[in-house]
C-alpha cells in the first residue's frame, strides 16, 4: 500500500456530491480523515464516525492553515459553478489560495477531480476552468494527481438527474446539436474507487489521468436507454438552431437543475468527453460498471427516497448569523398557536414539509412562486428533498435550505430563491405548561434595498393569510397524524 493509514487525509468539498460519498469510504478503509467545510454544522449533521471537522474557506486564505496542518494528502473537490457568474475567476483564486497554503504546510500530494475533454478542443468555460484549476494546483510545487471524468452516473448526480428528468417528462424532444456529442459516462461507485485507489498507487503520483466507464455513447443514446429502463419511449427531433443558452433555459424549466448549473453544463456538452489515455486501468484494477447497471442502481436509489449525497447539498451562500435579528429594517410574520398536540406529533408534521408533501396550504401558490423563480434563473421548487422525512443541516427543501435543526424543537430554513434581500422560515415547538405546546412559525425578511422593502409591504396581506393558514393546517395535520 502506498500511503500509511496513520497519515491524515484532508477532504475538501466533503459536503458535496462526490465528497459526501468519498469520506465514509475512506473511513471504512481505516484512513484518518479530516474534513474542511465552511459550516461545520453541515457535516456534524451527517453523523459520520471517526472524522475530524475543521472550518475553512478556500476564498479566505487565513482559514486554511489549521485545516492543512499535518496533512499528507489532500483531496481537492471544490468548484464554484452554480454560485457565481464569474465562477472561472473564483475557481482560479480558490486553487491558488489552497495550493500556496498546502505547500507551506508541507502537504506532499493533492488528488483533484476535474473534467474530461481534449485540451486541444475549444473548451467550454466550465471545462476550461476545471482543467485550469489542475494547472494552478500544480504550480504550487506539490505533486498533483488529476483525474478527469466525463458525466457521473449515480443517484443525486446533477448530470444524471438532467438525463433522468428529460427521459421521464418529455416523450417528444426538440434537440440541439449537443445530443450527438460523444461521452464516456462513469458510475459514481467507480469514481470513488479510483479516488481511493490513487492513494494506494505510487504510479498515479503527479499524473493527469482520464477515467471512464469503458462504453461510449451520444447523449441521445443515453437518454433513450434511460427512458427504456423507466418503461418509457422518447422521440427526438434535431433542430440545429437551438443554442446552448436556449437549451439551458429549457433544462431549467423541465429538470431539477437550475439555470446557474444547467448553462455551464450544457455549454460543456458540445465537447466530446472520451478517454484517450487508459493507463489508470493498468495501475488500479476495477470492475467497471456498465452504463445500464449504473443507471438501474441510480433509479432504484431514487425510488427508495434516500440519497447518500446529492448535488443540491453544496451551497456557497453565507451562513445566517443570529445578529441579523438586531439589524434595523428586518421584518417578521409570526404565527403562534397553543395546542394540546404532543411535541412528537407536531414535529412529525414539520419534518415532512416540502417535497411531495408540500407546504400545508396553497401548494399551487408555492409552485407558482417556484416557477417564477425558475424563469428568472433561480433554483425553483424542483430540487425537492433528499429524503421524505429525514432532515440534516445543509439539506435543500424546495427553494429553502436547512440552516438549523434540532429534532423535536426547531427547524430553520433559509431562502435560496431570488429575492431583493434574505429570508428565513422558522418552526419552533416549546412546552408551555400543563402539557400545552406552543407552536411558533416565524417568517423573517431582511431587505437589501428599497425594492425589497416595497416587496415586503406589498405582500403583507397575502403573506399573513398564507402563513396563518399554513400554521393552522400544520397543527390540524398533527392532530390527525396525517396530512
Tell me what pLDDT residue 474 has: 95
Tell me what pLDDT residue 482 has: 46
- Is residue 1 exposed (0-12), middle (13-18) or buried (19+ Cβ within 10 Å)? exposed
Tell me what pLDDT residue 397 has: 93
Is the CATH number 3.30.530.20 carried by domain 322-480?
yes
> Which residues fall within 8 angstroms of residue 275, CB to CB, at 6 or more apart?
116, 150, 184, 210, 211, 212
Tell me what pLDDT residue 51 has: 93
Query: By mean pLDDT, which of 48-62, 167-181, 383-397, 465-479 is the weakest?
Result: 167-181
Does the pLDDT value for residue 6 go beyond 90? no
Query: By mean pLDDT, which of 22-26, 156-160, 211-215, 297-301 is the weakest?
Result: 156-160
CA separation, residue 75 to residues 87, 112, 113, 374 (Å): 20, 6, 8, 33
Q: State how beta strands 32-37 and 51-55 pair.
A: parallel
Across the chain, mean pLDDT equals 86
Does the pLDDT value for residue 191 go beyond 90? yes
- Average pLDDT rounded to a whole number, residues 10-34: 93
> Residue 120 CA to chain centroid, in angstroms?
30
Specify the higher pLDDT residue, 463 or 481: 463
Tell me what pLDDT residue 187 has: 96
Tell me what pLDDT residue 82 has: 53
- Does this model's pTM top 0.85? My answer is no
Specify the higher pLDDT residue, 432 or 391: 391
Query: By mean pLDDT, which of 92-106, 146-160, 203-217, 301-315 is the weakest?
Result: 301-315
Does the pLDDT value for residue 1 go beyond 50? no
- Average pLDDT rounded to a whole number, residues 401-422: 91
CATH among 3.40.50.720, 3.40.640.10, 3.40.190.10, 3.40.50.10140 for 8-313: 3.40.50.720
φ and ψ of 406, to 5 deg: -130, 110
Report DSSP state, residue 424: E
Does the pLDDT value for residue 188 go beyond 70? yes
Tell me what pLDDT residue 325 has: 46
- Average pLDDT rounded to a whole number, residues 193-218: 94
Does the pLDDT value for residue 121 go beyond 70? no
- Average pLDDT rounded to a whole number, residues 341-362: 92
pLDDT > 70: percent of the chain: 89
**CA-CA distance, 41 to 45, in Å (whole number)?**
6
Tell me what pLDDT residue 244 has: 61
Report DSSP state, residue 128: H
Q: Is the dihedral of CA 154, 163, 273, 90 positive or negative?
A: negative
Give residue 349's pLDDT band: very low, low, confident or very high (50, 70, 90): very high
Query: By mean pLDDT, which of 53-67, 99-113, 380-394 is the weakest?
Result: 380-394
Give residue 196's pLDDT band: very low, low, confident or very high (50, 70, 90): very high
Full DSSP string of 327-349: STT-EEEEEEEEESS-HHHHHHH
Tell me what pLDDT residue 85 has: 58
Query: By mean pLDDT, which of 303-307, 344-348, 379-383, 396-400 is the weakest?
Result: 303-307
The answer to whether the beta carbons of residues 115 and 268 sit under 8 Å apart is yes
φ and ψ of 233, to 5 deg: -125, 150
**CA-CA distance, 253 to 473, in Å (whole number)?**
30
Give residue 89's pLDDT band: very low, low, confident or very high (50, 70, 90): confident
Specify the higher pLDDT residue, 167 or 326: 167
- Average pLDDT rounded to a whole number, residues 270-297: 92
Give residue 176's pLDDT band: very low, low, confident or very high (50, 70, 90): confident
In what helix (H) or strand (E) does residue 428 lie, and over which residues does it extend? strand 421-431
Tell me what pLDDT residue 319 has: 44
The C-alpha cell at 50 is 471517526
In what helix (H) or strand (E) does residue 446 lie, and over which residues does it extend? strand 437-447
Q: What is the pLDDT of residues 226-277, one digit of tens each?
A: 999 999 888 888 776 666 666 666 677 777 777 667 766 777 777 788 999 9
The answer to whether the beta carbons of residues 180 and 223 sit under 8 Å apart is no
Tell me what pLDDT residue 257 has: 73
Full DSSP string of 182-224: EE--EEHHHHHHHHHHHHT-GGGTT-EEEE--S--EEHHHHHH
Tell me what pLDDT residue 219 has: 87
Domain boundaries, given as residue ranges, for the chain: 8-313, 322-480
User: How crowded is the C-beta side of 439, counted as CA atoms within 13 Å?
Assistant: 24
- Average pLDDT rounded to a whole number, residues 360-374: 89
In the chain the first and final C-alpha atoms are separated, in Å, by 55
Radius of gyration of the chain (CA): 23
Does the pLDDT value for residue 181 go beyond 50? yes
Amino acid at each position: 500500500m502506498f500511503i500509511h493509514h496513520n497519515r491524515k487525509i484532508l477532504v475538501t468539498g466533503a459536503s458535496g456530491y462526490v465528497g459526501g460519498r468519498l469520506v465514509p469510504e475512506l473511513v471504512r478503509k481505516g484512513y484518518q480523515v479530516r474534513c474542511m467545510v465552511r459550516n461545520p454544522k453541515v457535516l456534524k449533521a451527517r453523523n459520520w464516525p471517526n472524522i475530524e471537522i475543521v472550518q475553512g474557506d478556500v476564498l479566505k486564505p487565513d482559514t486554511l492553515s489549521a485545516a492543512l496542518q499535518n496533512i499528507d494528502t489532500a483531496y481537492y473537490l471544490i468548484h464554484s459553478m452554480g454560485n457565481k457568474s464569474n465562477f472561472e475567476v473564483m475557481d482560479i483564486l480558490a486553487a491558488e489560495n489552497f495550493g500556496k497554503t498546502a505547500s507551506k504546510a508541507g502537504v506532499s500530494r493533492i488528488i483533484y477531480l476535474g473534467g474530461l475533454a481534449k485540451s486541444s478542443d475549444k473548451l467550454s468555460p466550465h471545462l476550461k476552468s476545471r482543467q485550469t484549476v489542475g494547472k494552478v494546483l500544480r504550480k504550487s510545487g506539490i505533486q498533483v494527481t488529476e483525474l478527469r471524468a466525463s458525466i457521473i452516473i449515480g443517484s443525486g448526480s446533477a448530470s444524471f438527474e438532467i438525463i433522468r428528468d428529460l427521459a421521464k417528462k418529455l416523450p417528444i424532444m426538440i434537440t440541439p446539436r449537443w445530443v450527438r456529442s460523444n461521452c464516456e459516462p462513469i458510475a459514481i461507485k467507480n469514481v470513488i474507487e479510483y479516488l481511493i485507489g490513487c492513494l494506494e498507487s505510487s504510479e498515479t503520483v503527479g499524473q493527469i489521468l482520464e477515467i471512464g466507464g469503458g462504453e461510449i455513447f451520444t447523449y441521445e443514446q443515453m437518454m433513450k436507454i434511460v427512458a427504456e429502463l423507466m418503461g418509457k419511449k422518447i422521440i427526438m427531433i434535431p433542430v440545429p438552431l437551438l443554442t446552448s443558452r436556449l437549451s439551458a433555459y429549457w433544462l431549467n424549466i423541465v429538470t431539477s437543475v437550475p439555470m446557474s448549473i444547467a448553462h455551464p453544463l450544457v455549454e460543456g456538452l458540445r465537447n466530446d468527453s472520451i478517454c484517450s489515455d487508459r493507463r489508470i486501468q493498468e495501475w488500479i484494477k476495477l470492475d467497471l460498471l456498465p452504463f445500464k447497471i449504473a443507471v438501474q442502481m441510480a433509479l432504484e436509489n431514487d425510488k427508495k427516497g434516500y440519497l447518500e449525497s446529492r448535488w443540491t447539498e453544496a451551497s456557497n451562500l453565507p451562513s445566517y448569523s443570529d445578529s441579523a435579528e438586531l439589524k434595523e429594517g428586518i421584518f417578521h410574520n409570526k404565527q403562534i398557536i397553543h395546542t394540546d398536540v404532543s411535541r412528537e406529533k407536531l414535529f412529525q408534521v414539520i419534518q415532512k414539509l416540502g417535497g411531495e408533501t408540500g407546504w400545508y396550504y396553497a401548494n399551487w401558490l408555492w409552485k407558482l412562486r417556484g416557477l417564477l423563480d425558475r424563469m428568472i434563473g433561480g433554483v425553483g421548487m424542483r430540487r425537492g428533498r433528499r429524503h421524505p422525512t429525514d432532515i440534516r443541516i445543509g439539506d435543500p427543501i424546495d427553494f429553502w435550505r436547512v440552516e438549523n435543526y434540532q429534532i423535536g424543537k426547531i427547524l430553520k430554513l433559509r431562502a435560496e430563491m431570488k429575492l431583493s434581500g434574505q429570508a428565513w422560515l422558522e418552526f419552533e415547538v416549546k412546552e408551555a405548561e400543563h402539557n400545552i405546546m406552543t407552536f411558533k412559525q416565524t417568517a423573517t425578511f431582511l431587505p437589501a434595498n428599497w425594492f425589497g422593502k416595497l416587496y415586503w409591504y406589498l405582500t403583507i396581506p397575502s403573506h399573513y393569510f398564507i402563513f396563518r393558514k399554513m400554521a393552522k393546517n400544520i397543527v390540524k395535520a398533527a392532530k390527525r397524524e396525517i396530512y
